[in-house]
Chains A and B, each alone.
Chain A
Amino acid sequence: MASTSRGDALALPRVQCPNHPDAILVEDYRAGDMICPECGLVVGDRVIDVGSEWRTFSNEKALKDPSRVGDAQNPLLNGGDLTTMISKGTGSASFDEFGNSKYQNRRTMSSSDRAMLNAFKEITTMADRINLPRNIIDRTNNLFKQVYEQKSLKGRANDAIASACLYIACRQEGVPRTFKEICAVSRISKKEIGRCFKLILKALETSVDLITTGDFMSRFCSNLGLPKQVQMAATYIARKAVELDLVPGRSPISVAAAAIYMASQASAEKKTQKEIGDIAGVADVTIRQSYRLIYPRAAELFPTDFKFDTPVDKLPQL
Protein backbone atom coordinates (compact mmCIF):
# COMPACT_ATOMS: atom_id res chain seq x y z
CA MET A 1 0.00 0.00 0.00
CA ALA A 2 3.01 2.21 0.18
CA SER A 3 2.90 3.32 -3.42
CA THR A 4 0.34 3.34 -6.15
CA SER A 5 0.98 3.79 -9.81
CA ARG A 6 -1.65 5.60 -11.80
CA GLY A 7 -3.21 3.93 -14.79
CA ASP A 8 -3.71 5.55 -18.17
CA ALA A 9 -7.37 6.22 -17.61
CA LEU A 10 -6.89 9.85 -16.58
CA ALA A 11 -6.61 12.31 -19.45
CA LEU A 12 -4.74 14.86 -17.40
CA PRO A 13 -1.34 15.93 -18.64
CA ARG A 14 0.91 13.32 -17.18
CA VAL A 15 4.01 14.33 -15.41
CA GLN A 16 6.88 12.42 -16.78
CA CYS A 17 10.48 12.06 -15.97
CA PRO A 18 12.35 14.05 -18.58
CA ASN A 19 14.97 11.37 -18.97
CA HIS A 20 12.68 8.37 -18.94
CA PRO A 21 9.33 9.29 -20.46
CA ASP A 22 8.14 5.71 -20.50
CA ALA A 23 8.84 5.02 -16.89
CA ILE A 24 5.82 4.80 -14.59
CA LEU A 25 6.30 7.17 -11.71
CA VAL A 26 6.23 5.89 -8.21
CA GLU A 27 4.27 7.88 -5.74
CA ASP A 28 5.66 8.48 -2.32
CA TYR A 29 2.77 9.67 -0.31
CA ARG A 30 4.68 10.29 2.86
CA ALA A 31 6.77 13.00 1.37
CA GLY A 32 4.31 14.01 -1.32
CA ASP A 33 6.55 13.28 -4.27
CA MET A 34 6.46 11.38 -7.48
CA ILE A 35 9.73 9.65 -8.15
CA CYS A 36 11.06 8.08 -11.32
CA PRO A 37 12.12 4.53 -10.55
CA GLU A 38 14.87 4.50 -13.12
CA CYS A 39 16.97 7.44 -12.11
CA GLY A 40 15.39 8.52 -8.82
CA LEU A 41 14.53 12.01 -10.00
CA VAL A 42 11.76 13.67 -8.05
CA VAL A 43 9.34 14.75 -10.75
CA GLY A 44 6.08 15.74 -9.15
CA ASP A 45 6.01 17.89 -6.12
CA ARG A 46 3.52 19.06 -3.58
CA VAL A 47 1.29 16.09 -4.01
CA ILE A 48 -1.24 16.20 -1.23
CA ASP A 49 0.02 14.33 1.73
CA VAL A 50 -2.36 11.75 3.01
CA GLY A 51 -0.41 11.02 6.14
CA SER A 52 -1.88 12.00 9.48
CA GLU A 53 -1.75 15.55 10.64
CA TRP A 54 -0.43 14.94 14.11
CA ARG A 55 1.27 12.17 15.85
CA THR A 56 -0.81 10.03 18.14
CA PHE A 57 0.61 7.92 20.87
CA SER A 58 -1.88 5.18 21.38
CA ASN A 59 -2.49 4.24 24.97
CA GLU A 60 -4.16 0.89 24.84
CA LYS A 61 -6.92 1.76 22.43
CA ALA A 62 -8.21 5.02 23.80
CA LEU A 63 -11.90 5.70 23.33
CA LYS A 64 -11.43 7.79 20.28
CA ASP A 65 -8.68 7.60 17.76
CA PRO A 66 -7.72 11.23 17.09
CA SER A 67 -6.60 10.59 13.57
CA ARG A 68 -10.04 9.37 12.53
CA VAL A 69 -12.96 11.60 11.74
CA GLY A 70 -16.54 10.57 12.24
CA ASP A 71 -18.19 7.22 12.80
CA ALA A 72 -17.03 3.96 11.31
CA GLN A 73 -18.67 3.81 7.95
CA ASN A 74 -20.85 0.94 6.94
CA PRO A 75 -20.58 1.33 3.17
CA LEU A 76 -21.94 -2.08 2.33
CA LEU A 77 -25.26 -1.29 3.82
CA ASN A 78 -25.87 2.42 3.63
CA GLY A 79 -24.84 3.33 0.14
CA GLY A 80 -21.90 5.20 1.67
CA ASP A 81 -23.14 8.74 1.98
CA LEU A 82 -20.86 11.33 3.43
CA THR A 83 -23.46 13.80 4.59
CA THR A 84 -22.61 15.99 7.52
CA MET A 85 -24.94 17.66 9.96
CA ILE A 86 -24.79 20.72 12.09
CA SER A 87 -24.75 19.54 15.66
CA LYS A 88 -26.31 21.16 18.66
CA GLY A 89 -24.17 23.99 19.85
CA THR A 90 -22.27 24.20 23.11
CA GLY A 91 -21.57 27.37 24.94
CA SER A 92 -23.88 30.25 25.64
CA ALA A 93 -23.94 31.77 22.17
CA SER A 94 -25.98 28.99 20.68
CA PHE A 95 -29.00 29.59 22.89
CA ASP A 96 -31.38 32.45 22.29
CA GLU A 97 -33.12 34.52 24.93
CA PHE A 98 -35.67 31.95 26.03
CA GLY A 99 -33.27 29.13 26.41
CA ASN A 100 -34.16 27.41 23.18
CA SER A 101 -31.29 26.42 21.00
CA LYS A 102 -30.83 28.64 17.99
CA TYR A 103 -30.18 26.05 15.33
CA GLN A 104 -32.80 23.36 15.70
CA ASN A 105 -32.61 21.64 12.44
CA ARG A 106 -31.65 18.05 13.11
CA ARG A 107 -33.88 16.84 10.38
CA THR A 108 -33.56 14.08 7.85
CA MET A 109 -30.00 13.16 7.17
CA SER A 110 -30.67 10.37 4.71
CA SER A 111 -34.40 10.07 4.25
CA SER A 112 -34.17 7.42 1.61
CA ASP A 113 -32.33 5.05 3.92
CA ARG A 114 -34.01 6.02 7.14
CA ALA A 115 -36.36 3.06 7.02
CA MET A 116 -33.44 0.79 6.34
CA LEU A 117 -31.45 2.16 9.28
CA ASN A 118 -34.48 1.71 11.48
CA ALA A 119 -34.82 -1.85 10.34
CA PHE A 120 -31.15 -2.54 11.08
CA LYS A 121 -31.62 -1.23 14.56
CA GLU A 122 -34.67 -3.46 14.98
CA ILE A 123 -32.75 -6.46 13.67
CA THR A 124 -29.93 -5.83 16.11
CA THR A 125 -32.41 -5.52 18.98
CA MET A 126 -34.16 -8.76 18.06
CA ALA A 127 -30.95 -10.66 17.56
CA ASP A 128 -29.66 -9.36 20.86
CA ARG A 129 -32.61 -10.83 22.72
CA ILE A 130 -31.71 -14.34 21.60
CA ASN A 131 -27.95 -13.76 21.66
CA LEU A 132 -27.24 -14.25 17.99
CA PRO A 133 -23.63 -13.76 16.84
CA ARG A 134 -22.48 -10.91 14.66
CA ASN A 135 -22.24 -12.97 11.48
CA ILE A 136 -25.94 -13.78 11.53
CA ILE A 137 -26.81 -10.15 12.13
CA ASP A 138 -24.62 -9.12 9.18
CA ARG A 139 -26.23 -11.71 6.98
CA THR A 140 -29.67 -10.53 8.02
CA ASN A 141 -28.73 -6.94 7.24
CA ASN A 142 -27.52 -7.96 3.81
CA LEU A 143 -30.70 -9.89 3.09
CA PHE A 144 -32.81 -7.00 4.23
CA LYS A 145 -30.91 -4.62 2.03
CA GLN A 146 -31.40 -6.87 -0.99
CA VAL A 147 -35.11 -7.22 -0.33
CA TYR A 148 -35.52 -3.53 0.32
CA GLU A 149 -33.78 -2.53 -2.87
CA GLN A 150 -35.85 -4.93 -4.91
CA LYS A 151 -39.02 -3.27 -3.67
CA SER A 152 -41.14 -6.31 -4.46
CA LEU A 153 -42.27 -6.56 -0.84
CA LYS A 154 -42.71 -2.85 -0.41
CA GLY A 155 -46.20 -2.96 1.09
CA ARG A 156 -45.27 -5.28 3.95
CA ALA A 157 -44.31 -4.00 7.36
CA ASN A 158 -40.57 -3.56 7.63
CA ASP A 159 -40.54 -5.36 10.94
CA ALA A 160 -42.14 -8.39 9.34
CA ILE A 161 -39.55 -8.43 6.59
CA ALA A 162 -36.78 -7.95 9.13
CA SER A 163 -38.04 -10.88 11.21
CA ALA A 164 -38.29 -13.09 8.15
CA CYS A 165 -34.76 -12.08 7.09
CA LEU A 166 -33.53 -13.00 10.55
CA TYR A 167 -35.16 -16.40 10.23
CA ILE A 168 -33.61 -16.98 6.81
CA ALA A 169 -30.18 -15.87 7.99
CA CYS A 170 -30.26 -18.31 10.89
CA ARG A 171 -31.24 -21.07 8.48
CA GLN A 172 -28.53 -20.19 6.01
CA GLU A 173 -25.88 -20.17 8.70
CA GLY A 174 -26.84 -23.71 9.64
CA VAL A 175 -28.32 -22.85 13.03
CA PRO A 176 -32.04 -22.59 12.35
CA ARG A 177 -34.38 -21.00 14.85
CA THR A 178 -38.01 -22.06 14.91
CA PHE A 179 -40.62 -19.57 13.79
CA LYS A 180 -41.91 -19.48 17.32
CA GLU A 181 -38.51 -18.45 18.65
CA ILE A 182 -38.37 -15.57 16.18
CA CYS A 183 -41.96 -14.71 17.08
CA ALA A 184 -40.96 -14.44 20.71
CA VAL A 185 -38.54 -11.60 20.00
CA SER A 186 -40.62 -9.86 17.37
CA ARG A 187 -43.97 -8.14 17.47
CA ILE A 188 -45.09 -9.82 14.25
CA SER A 189 -47.33 -12.89 14.23
CA LYS A 190 -46.01 -16.26 13.10
CA LYS A 191 -48.41 -16.24 10.17
CA GLU A 192 -47.10 -12.96 8.86
CA ILE A 193 -43.48 -13.98 9.31
CA GLY A 194 -44.23 -17.20 7.42
CA ARG A 195 -45.85 -15.28 4.59
CA CYS A 196 -42.96 -12.83 4.33
CA PHE A 197 -40.54 -15.74 4.46
CA LYS A 198 -42.11 -17.36 1.41
CA LEU A 199 -42.26 -14.04 -0.42
CA ILE A 200 -38.62 -13.27 0.28
CA LEU A 201 -37.49 -16.66 -0.95
CA LYS A 202 -39.39 -16.03 -4.14
CA ALA A 203 -38.08 -12.48 -4.52
CA LEU A 204 -34.45 -13.40 -3.94
CA GLU A 205 -34.83 -16.67 -5.84
CA THR A 206 -33.04 -18.65 -3.19
CA SER A 207 -34.04 -21.71 -1.29
CA VAL A 208 -33.07 -22.93 2.13
CA ASP A 209 -32.15 -26.37 3.41
CA LEU A 210 -34.74 -28.42 5.22
CA ILE A 211 -34.67 -28.43 8.99
CA THR A 212 -33.67 -31.62 10.74
CA THR A 213 -34.30 -32.75 14.29
CA GLY A 214 -30.63 -32.49 15.22
CA ASP A 215 -30.47 -28.73 14.60
CA PHE A 216 -32.41 -27.96 17.75
CA MET A 217 -31.19 -30.61 20.15
CA SER A 218 -28.31 -28.73 21.69
CA ARG A 219 -30.35 -25.61 22.29
CA PHE A 220 -33.39 -27.30 23.77
CA CYS A 221 -31.37 -29.65 25.93
CA SER A 222 -29.17 -26.92 27.37
CA ASN A 223 -32.21 -24.78 28.11
CA LEU A 224 -33.68 -27.71 30.00
CA GLY A 225 -30.41 -28.38 31.78
CA LEU A 226 -30.04 -31.93 30.54
CA PRO A 227 -26.59 -33.57 30.61
CA LYS A 228 -24.66 -34.36 27.45
CA GLN A 229 -25.52 -38.05 27.59
CA VAL A 230 -29.23 -37.34 27.46
CA GLN A 231 -28.76 -34.88 24.65
CA MET A 232 -26.82 -37.37 22.58
CA ALA A 233 -29.40 -40.03 23.28
CA ALA A 234 -32.24 -37.72 22.26
CA THR A 235 -30.44 -36.81 19.03
CA TYR A 236 -29.96 -40.47 18.25
CA ILE A 237 -33.59 -41.32 19.04
CA ALA A 238 -34.94 -38.54 16.85
CA ARG A 239 -32.69 -39.44 13.96
CA LYS A 240 -33.56 -43.11 14.22
CA ALA A 241 -37.26 -42.32 14.42
CA VAL A 242 -37.12 -40.32 11.21
CA GLU A 243 -35.05 -43.00 9.47
CA LEU A 244 -37.44 -45.76 10.46
CA ASP A 245 -40.28 -43.48 9.39
CA LEU A 246 -42.22 -43.88 12.61
CA VAL A 247 -43.44 -40.30 12.50
CA PRO A 248 -44.55 -39.45 8.96
CA GLY A 249 -45.93 -35.98 8.50
CA ARG A 250 -44.81 -34.73 11.93
CA SER A 251 -42.90 -31.50 12.22
CA PRO A 252 -39.22 -32.13 13.13
CA ILE A 253 -39.66 -29.91 16.19
CA SER A 254 -42.40 -32.13 17.59
CA VAL A 255 -40.33 -35.23 16.92
CA ALA A 256 -37.33 -33.64 18.61
CA ALA A 257 -39.45 -32.72 21.63
CA ALA A 258 -40.82 -36.26 21.91
CA ALA A 259 -37.30 -37.68 21.64
CA ILE A 260 -36.09 -35.39 24.40
CA TYR A 261 -39.00 -36.49 26.55
CA MET A 262 -38.22 -40.15 26.01
CA ALA A 263 -34.50 -39.68 26.65
CA SER A 264 -35.04 -37.61 29.78
CA GLN A 265 -37.61 -40.05 31.18
CA ALA A 266 -35.14 -42.89 30.72
CA SER A 267 -32.39 -41.03 32.51
CA ALA A 268 -32.08 -39.58 35.99
CA GLU A 269 -33.13 -36.09 34.87
CA LYS A 270 -36.82 -36.48 34.16
CA LYS A 271 -38.58 -33.57 32.52
CA THR A 272 -42.34 -33.23 32.16
CA GLN A 273 -44.03 -32.79 28.83
CA LYS A 274 -45.12 -29.33 29.85
CA GLU A 275 -41.54 -28.17 30.51
CA ILE A 276 -40.32 -29.52 27.20
CA GLY A 277 -43.32 -28.04 25.41
CA ASP A 278 -42.55 -24.67 26.94
CA ILE A 279 -38.97 -24.66 25.73
CA ALA A 280 -39.64 -26.06 22.28
CA GLY A 281 -42.78 -24.07 21.65
CA VAL A 282 -44.79 -27.23 21.07
CA ALA A 283 -48.11 -28.02 22.71
CA ASP A 284 -47.86 -30.90 25.18
CA VAL A 285 -50.60 -32.79 23.36
CA THR A 286 -48.41 -32.68 20.28
CA ILE A 287 -45.53 -34.18 22.24
CA ARG A 288 -47.92 -36.82 23.49
CA GLN A 289 -49.00 -37.66 19.94
CA SER A 290 -45.47 -37.98 18.66
CA TYR A 291 -44.42 -39.89 21.76
CA ARG A 292 -47.19 -42.40 21.19
CA LEU A 293 -45.81 -43.00 17.70
CA ILE A 294 -42.26 -43.68 18.84
CA TYR A 295 -43.08 -45.50 22.07
CA PRO A 296 -43.76 -48.97 20.56
CA ARG A 297 -40.21 -49.24 19.23
CA ALA A 298 -38.49 -47.46 22.06
CA ALA A 299 -35.98 -50.25 22.61
CA GLU A 300 -34.54 -49.93 19.13
CA LEU A 301 -34.35 -46.17 19.26
CA PHE A 302 -31.98 -45.82 22.17
CA PRO A 303 -28.26 -45.80 21.47
CA THR A 304 -26.48 -49.00 22.44
CA ASP A 305 -24.23 -47.42 25.06
CA PHE A 306 -26.96 -45.60 26.93
CA LYS A 307 -27.15 -46.02 30.70
CA PHE A 308 -30.75 -46.45 31.68
CA ASP A 309 -31.93 -45.00 34.93
CA THR A 310 -35.42 -46.21 34.14
CA PRO A 311 -35.49 -49.27 31.89
CA VAL A 312 -37.31 -49.20 28.59
CA ASP A 313 -40.33 -51.15 29.74
CA LYS A 314 -40.88 -48.79 32.66
CA LEU A 315 -41.08 -45.72 30.41
CA PRO A 316 -44.33 -43.80 30.87
CA GLN A 317 -47.00 -44.72 28.42
CA LEU A 318 -49.46 -41.99 27.46
Chain B
Amino acid sequence: MDSSNDEALDIIITNVVATFRVRCHLNLRTIALEGNNVIYKPDCGKVLMKLRKPKITASIWSSGKIICTGATSEDDAKLGARRLARVLQKLGFRVRFSAFKVVNVLAVCSMPFSIALIDFTVNNRPIASYEPELHPAATYRIKHIKATVQVFSTGSITVTGPNVQTVATAVEQVYPLLFECRKPLRK
Protein backbone atom coordinates (compact mmCIF):
# COMPACT_ATOMS: atom_id res chain seq x y z
CA MET B 1 0.00 0.00 0.00
CA ASP B 2 0.94 3.59 -0.33
CA SER B 3 1.74 4.14 3.34
CA SER B 4 3.83 1.03 3.77
CA ASN B 5 6.32 2.20 1.13
CA ASP B 6 9.67 3.66 2.00
CA GLU B 7 9.02 6.84 0.06
CA ALA B 8 5.50 8.18 0.25
CA LEU B 9 3.88 9.08 -3.01
CA ASP B 10 3.46 12.77 -3.70
CA ILE B 11 -0.02 13.62 -4.79
CA ILE B 12 0.07 17.11 -6.26
CA ILE B 13 -3.24 18.86 -6.70
CA THR B 14 -3.05 20.86 -9.89
CA ASN B 15 -6.58 22.13 -10.33
CA VAL B 16 -9.66 22.68 -8.22
CA VAL B 17 -12.91 23.70 -9.90
CA ALA B 18 -15.67 25.26 -7.83
CA THR B 19 -19.01 26.87 -8.54
CA PHE B 20 -20.92 29.42 -6.56
CA ARG B 21 -23.71 31.93 -6.93
CA VAL B 22 -23.94 35.62 -6.19
CA ARG B 23 -27.71 35.69 -6.02
CA CYS B 24 -28.18 38.62 -8.30
CA HIS B 25 -28.32 39.33 -11.98
CA LEU B 26 -25.04 40.62 -13.38
CA ASN B 27 -24.63 42.98 -16.29
CA LEU B 28 -21.80 41.44 -18.29
CA ARG B 29 -21.17 44.55 -20.33
CA THR B 30 -20.55 46.61 -17.23
CA ILE B 31 -18.16 44.01 -15.88
CA ALA B 32 -16.40 43.81 -19.22
CA LEU B 33 -15.97 47.54 -19.52
CA GLU B 34 -15.16 48.49 -15.96
CA GLY B 35 -13.45 45.44 -14.49
CA ASN B 36 -9.71 44.77 -14.75
CA ASN B 37 -8.31 41.57 -16.19
CA VAL B 38 -11.52 40.54 -17.92
CA ILE B 39 -12.23 38.92 -21.26
CA TYR B 40 -15.72 39.25 -22.66
CA LYS B 41 -17.07 36.37 -24.73
CA PRO B 42 -20.44 37.49 -26.05
CA ASP B 43 -20.90 34.40 -28.23
CA CYS B 44 -20.66 32.20 -25.14
CA GLY B 45 -22.51 34.73 -23.01
CA LYS B 46 -19.88 34.92 -20.32
CA VAL B 47 -17.06 37.01 -18.96
CA LEU B 48 -13.70 35.52 -17.93
CA MET B 49 -12.06 37.23 -15.03
CA LYS B 50 -8.57 36.31 -13.92
CA LEU B 51 -7.37 36.94 -10.42
CA ARG B 52 -3.70 37.27 -9.57
CA LYS B 53 -3.52 36.45 -5.91
CA PRO B 54 -4.89 32.97 -5.74
CA LYS B 55 -4.24 32.37 -9.43
CA ILE B 56 -7.78 31.81 -10.57
CA THR B 57 -9.87 32.14 -13.71
CA ALA B 58 -13.59 32.59 -13.26
CA SER B 59 -16.37 32.31 -15.85
CA ILE B 60 -19.14 34.65 -14.93
CA TRP B 61 -22.62 34.34 -16.35
CA SER B 62 -25.29 36.98 -16.31
CA SER B 63 -27.54 34.81 -14.16
CA GLY B 64 -25.09 35.19 -11.32
CA LYS B 65 -23.60 31.71 -11.50
CA ILE B 66 -19.83 31.60 -11.50
CA ILE B 67 -17.37 28.78 -12.16
CA CYS B 68 -13.98 29.24 -10.64
CA THR B 69 -11.01 27.22 -11.98
CA GLY B 70 -7.25 27.11 -11.56
CA ALA B 71 -6.99 26.99 -7.78
CA THR B 72 -4.44 24.68 -6.18
CA SER B 73 -6.39 23.75 -3.07
CA GLU B 74 -9.93 23.75 -1.78
CA ASP B 75 -9.24 26.64 0.61
CA ASP B 76 -7.61 28.59 -2.17
CA ALA B 77 -10.67 28.07 -4.29
CA LYS B 78 -12.92 29.40 -1.56
CA LEU B 79 -10.65 32.35 -0.96
CA GLY B 80 -10.53 33.18 -4.64
CA ALA B 81 -14.28 32.89 -4.92
CA ARG B 82 -14.77 35.29 -2.07
CA ARG B 83 -12.27 37.74 -3.58
CA LEU B 84 -14.12 37.53 -6.84
CA ALA B 85 -17.41 38.27 -5.17
CA ARG B 86 -15.75 41.25 -3.50
CA VAL B 87 -14.57 42.55 -6.88
CA LEU B 88 -18.08 42.27 -8.24
CA GLN B 89 -19.40 44.04 -5.18
CA LYS B 90 -16.97 46.90 -5.75
CA LEU B 91 -18.28 47.19 -9.29
CA GLY B 92 -21.64 48.02 -7.82
CA PHE B 93 -23.63 44.78 -7.84
CA ARG B 94 -25.47 43.64 -4.73
CA VAL B 95 -23.79 40.30 -4.34
CA ARG B 96 -24.47 37.63 -1.79
CA PHE B 97 -21.96 34.83 -1.65
CA SER B 98 -23.84 31.53 -1.61
CA ALA B 99 -23.85 27.90 -2.71
CA PHE B 100 -20.10 27.45 -2.88
CA LYS B 101 -19.29 23.91 -3.96
CA VAL B 102 -16.08 22.27 -5.09
CA VAL B 103 -17.05 20.36 -8.18
CA ASN B 104 -13.84 18.80 -9.45
CA VAL B 105 -10.32 18.22 -8.20
CA LEU B 106 -7.50 17.21 -10.52
CA ALA B 107 -4.31 15.77 -9.09
CA VAL B 108 -1.20 14.22 -10.60
CA CYS B 109 0.99 11.61 -9.08
CA SER B 110 4.11 9.88 -10.30
CA MET B 111 4.90 6.27 -9.64
CA PRO B 112 8.56 5.32 -9.29
CA PHE B 113 8.08 2.62 -11.93
CA SER B 114 6.83 2.36 -15.51
CA ILE B 115 3.60 0.56 -16.14
CA ALA B 116 2.69 -2.05 -18.74
CA LEU B 117 -0.64 -0.65 -19.87
CA ILE B 118 -1.74 -3.68 -21.83
CA ASP B 119 -1.35 -5.98 -18.81
CA PHE B 120 -3.07 -3.43 -16.61
CA THR B 121 -6.05 -3.26 -18.95
CA VAL B 122 -6.31 -7.00 -19.32
CA ASN B 123 -6.22 -7.53 -15.55
CA ASN B 124 -8.92 -4.98 -14.83
CA ARG B 125 -11.15 -5.72 -17.77
CA PRO B 126 -14.44 -3.86 -17.56
CA ILE B 127 -13.33 -1.04 -15.26
CA ALA B 128 -10.20 -0.07 -17.16
CA SER B 129 -10.31 0.98 -20.79
CA TYR B 130 -7.40 1.62 -23.11
CA GLU B 131 -7.76 2.96 -26.63
CA PRO B 132 -4.29 3.78 -27.94
CA GLU B 133 -5.75 5.38 -31.06
CA LEU B 134 -7.73 7.86 -29.03
CA HIS B 135 -5.63 8.60 -25.96
CA PRO B 136 -2.25 7.27 -24.80
CA ALA B 137 -3.48 6.58 -21.27
CA ALA B 138 -5.62 3.83 -19.81
CA THR B 139 -8.66 5.19 -17.93
CA TYR B 140 -9.75 3.48 -14.75
CA ARG B 141 -13.12 4.62 -13.45
CA ILE B 142 -13.91 3.90 -9.82
CA LYS B 143 -17.66 4.05 -9.79
CA HIS B 144 -18.57 4.11 -6.12
CA ILE B 145 -16.38 7.08 -5.24
CA LYS B 146 -16.88 8.70 -8.65
CA ALA B 147 -13.22 9.12 -9.43
CA THR B 148 -11.34 8.62 -12.68
CA VAL B 149 -7.70 7.65 -12.84
CA GLN B 150 -5.74 8.00 -16.07
CA VAL B 151 -2.65 5.84 -16.16
CA PHE B 152 0.23 6.59 -18.49
CA SER B 153 2.92 4.14 -19.46
CA THR B 154 5.64 6.35 -17.94
CA GLY B 155 4.17 5.77 -14.51
CA SER B 156 2.52 9.13 -14.00
CA ILE B 157 -1.17 9.10 -13.26
CA THR B 158 -3.79 11.83 -13.14
CA VAL B 159 -6.72 11.50 -10.78
CA THR B 160 -9.93 13.48 -10.95
CA GLY B 161 -12.67 13.36 -8.36
CA PRO B 162 -15.27 15.46 -6.59
CA ASN B 163 -13.06 16.36 -3.63
CA VAL B 164 -9.55 15.97 -2.29
CA GLN B 165 -10.45 13.09 0.00
CA THR B 166 -11.81 11.05 -2.91
CA VAL B 167 -8.65 11.66 -4.85
CA ALA B 168 -6.52 10.34 -2.01
CA THR B 169 -8.71 7.25 -1.68
CA ALA B 170 -8.53 6.65 -5.40
CA VAL B 171 -4.73 6.68 -5.37
CA GLU B 172 -4.69 4.25 -2.46
CA GLN B 173 -7.06 1.96 -4.29
CA VAL B 174 -5.28 1.97 -7.59
CA TYR B 175 -1.72 1.68 -6.28
CA PRO B 176 -1.72 -2.11 -5.72
CA LEU B 177 -3.14 -2.67 -9.19
CA LEU B 178 -0.41 -0.55 -10.72
CA PHE B 179 2.24 -2.24 -8.63
CA GLU B 180 1.29 -5.60 -10.12
CA CYS B 181 1.74 -4.37 -13.66
CA ARG B 182 4.97 -2.50 -13.16
CA LYS B 183 7.83 -2.86 -15.59
CA PRO B 184 11.11 -3.90 -13.99
CA LEU B 185 13.50 -0.96 -13.58
CA ARG B 186 13.49 2.14 -15.69
CA LYS B 187 16.06 2.12 -18.49
Contact of A198 among B118, B129, B153 (CB under 8 A): B129
B115: min CB distance to chain A, Å = 9
Is there contact, CB below 8 Å, between B134 and A248? no
Is there contact, CB below 8 Å, between B129 and A251? no
Is there contact, CB below 8 Å, between A249 and B136? yes
For chain B, give the interface size range.
10 to 19
A314: min CB distance to chain B, Å = 27
The docked-state distance in angstroms from the alpha carbon of A198 to that of B121 is 15
Is there contact, CB below 8 Å, between B129 and A201? yes
Nearest CB in chain A to that of B135: its residue: A194
**Residue-by-residue, is A193-206 near B (CB-CB < 8 Å gives 1, otherwise 0)?**
01001100100010
Nearest CB in chain B to that of A193: its residue: B134
Is there contact, CB below 8 Å, between A251 and B132? yes
The docked-state distance in angstroms from the alpha carbon of A198 to that of B135 is 12
The docked-state distance in angstroms from the alpha carbon of A250 to that of B133 is 9
For chain A, give the interface size range.
10 to 19
Residue in B117, B129, B131 with the greatest tally of chain A CB atoms within 10 Å: B131
> Which A223-250 residues sit within 8 Å CB-CB of chain B?
245, 248-250
Q: Which residues of B contact A250 (CB under 8 A)?
A: 132
Contact of B134 among A179, A205, A207 (CB under 8 A): A179
Q: Which residues of B contact A248 (CB under 8 A)?
A: 114, 153-154, 183
The docked-state distance in angstroms from the alpha carbon of A207 to that of B141 is 14
Contact of B154 among A194, A249, A253 (CB under 8 A): A249
Nearest CB in chain B to that of A281: its residue: B133
The docked-state distance in angstroms from the alpha carbon of A251 to that of B153 is 12
Nearest CB in chain B to that of A178: its residue: B133
**Residue-by-residue, is B117-157 near A (CB-CB < 8 Å gives 1, otherwise 0)?**
11001100110011111101000000000000000111000
Determine chain B's interface SS by DSSP, over half rule. loop
The docked-state distance in angstroms from the alpha carbon of A161 to that of B116 is 31
**A210 and B121 in contact, given A248-B114, A249-B154 (Cβ under 8 angstroms):** yes
The answer to whether the Cβ of A211 comes within 8 Å of any Cβ in the partner chain is yes
**A211 and B132 in contact, given A245-B183, A248-B153, A248-B154 (Cβ under 8 angstroms):** yes
Q: Which residues of A contact B114 (CB under 8 A)?
A: 248
> Which A158-179 residues sit within 8 Å CB-CB of chain B?
178-179
**Residue-by-residue, is B163-184 near A (CB-CB < 8 Å gives 1, otherwise 0)?**
0000000000000000000010
Is there contact, CB below 8 Å, between B126 and A194? no
Is there contact, CB below 8 Å, between B133 and A207? no
Contact of A253 among B117, B129, B133, B136 (CB under 8 A): B133
Is there contact, CB below 8 Å, between A251 and B154? no
Contact of A251 among B122, B136, B152, B183 (CB under 8 A): B136
The docked-state distance in angstroms from the alpha carbon of A245 to that of B133 is 18
The docked-state distance in angstroms from the alpha carbon of A252 to that of B129 is 16
Q: Which residues of A contact B131 (CB under 8 A)?
A: 194, 197-198
22 contacts between A and B (CB under 8 A): A179-B133, A179-B134, A194-B131, A194-B133, A194-B134, A198-B129, A198-B131, A201-B129, A205-B126, A207-B126, A210-B118, A210-B122, A210-B132, A211-B132, A245-B183, A248-B114, A248-B183, A249-B136, A249-B152, A249-B154, A252-B132, A253-B133
What 10 A-B pairs have minimum CB-CB distances, sorted nearest first? A249-B153, A251-B132, A248-B153, A194-B134, A179-B133, A249-B136, A207-B126, A251-B133, A252-B132, A210-B118
